[in-house]
Amino acid sequence: MRAVPLLAVAVALASAAPFASAHAQQKVLLGHATTSTVSLKLFAAVGDIRVVGWDRDSVELSGVVPTGVKAQLYAGAPDEHAKGLKMFVESPTEQSGREGTLVLHVPRAARVWLKTGSADMDVTGVTGGLDLNVVGGSITVHGNPKEVRAESMDGNVIIDGSPEWLRAKTATGDITLHGGGDIGASTISGTIRTNGGDVERAKLESTTGTLSFASVLTRNASVELETHSGPIDIQLSLKSDADVDASTITGAIDNQWTRTRPATGREGRGMTLQTSSGMGGAHIVVRSFKGTIQLRTSKLSLKGP
Partner 1 sequence: MTDHLSFERLCDLADSALAPAAEESARAHLRTCEQCASRLSAISALAASTAALPQEIAPPEGLWQDIRKDLEPRDAIRRRSRAWPIRHLAAAAVVIAAASSALTALVLRGTNSDATTRSETASAPTTTSTPVQPTPAELPARLASAEHGFTRSVDALQRTLDERRDSLAPSTIATVERSVRIADSAIAEAREALARDPANHALAALFASNYERKIDLLRRATELAPRT
| Contact positions vs partner 1 (CB under 8 A) | 1-5, 39, 41, 43, 45, 84, 94, 97, 111, 113, 115-118, 129, 131, 133, 135-136, 146-147, 149, 151, 153-154, 164-165, 169, 171-172, 181-182, 186, 188-189, 205, 207-208, 226, 228-229, 247, 249-250, 266-267, 287-290
Q: Where are the alpha helices (DSSP H) in 107-224?
A: none
Which CB sits closer to partner 1, 2 or 299?
A: 2
Cβ atoms 249, 230 nearer than 8 A: no
Helix (H, G, I), strand (E, B) or coil at 250: coil
Instruction: Name the minimum Å distance from CB 182 to partner 1.
Output: 6
Instruction: Name the minimum Å distance from CB 195 to partner 1.
Output: 23
Which CB sits closer to partner 1, 134 or 300?
A: 134
> Which residues, in sequence order, are CB contacts of 268 under 8 Å at separation 6+?
none
Four-residue CA torsion sign, 106, 110, 113, 119: positive
Instruction: Name the minimum Å distance from CB 222 to partner 1.
Output: 11
Instruction: Name the minimum Å distance from CB 50 to partner 1.
Output: 19
Burial of 19 (0-12, 13-18, 19+ CB in 10 A): middle
Q: How far apart are CA 139 and CA 114, in angstroms?
A: 11
Instruction: Name the minimum Å distance from CB 139 to partner 1.
Output: 14
φ/ψ of 18, rounded to 5, equals -60, 140
Which CB sits closer to partner 1, 71 or 300?
A: 71
Q: How far apart are CA 66 and CA 15, in angstroms?
A: 10
Among 219, 205, 173, 208, smallest CA distance to 285 is for: 205
Instruction: Name the minimum Å distance from CB 136 to partner 1.
Output: 7
Which CB sits closer to partner 1, 112 or 234?
A: 112
Which CB sits closer to partner 1, 287 or 303?
A: 287
Which CB sits closer to partner 1, 208 or 298?
A: 208
Cβ atoms 75, 85 nearer than 8 A: yes
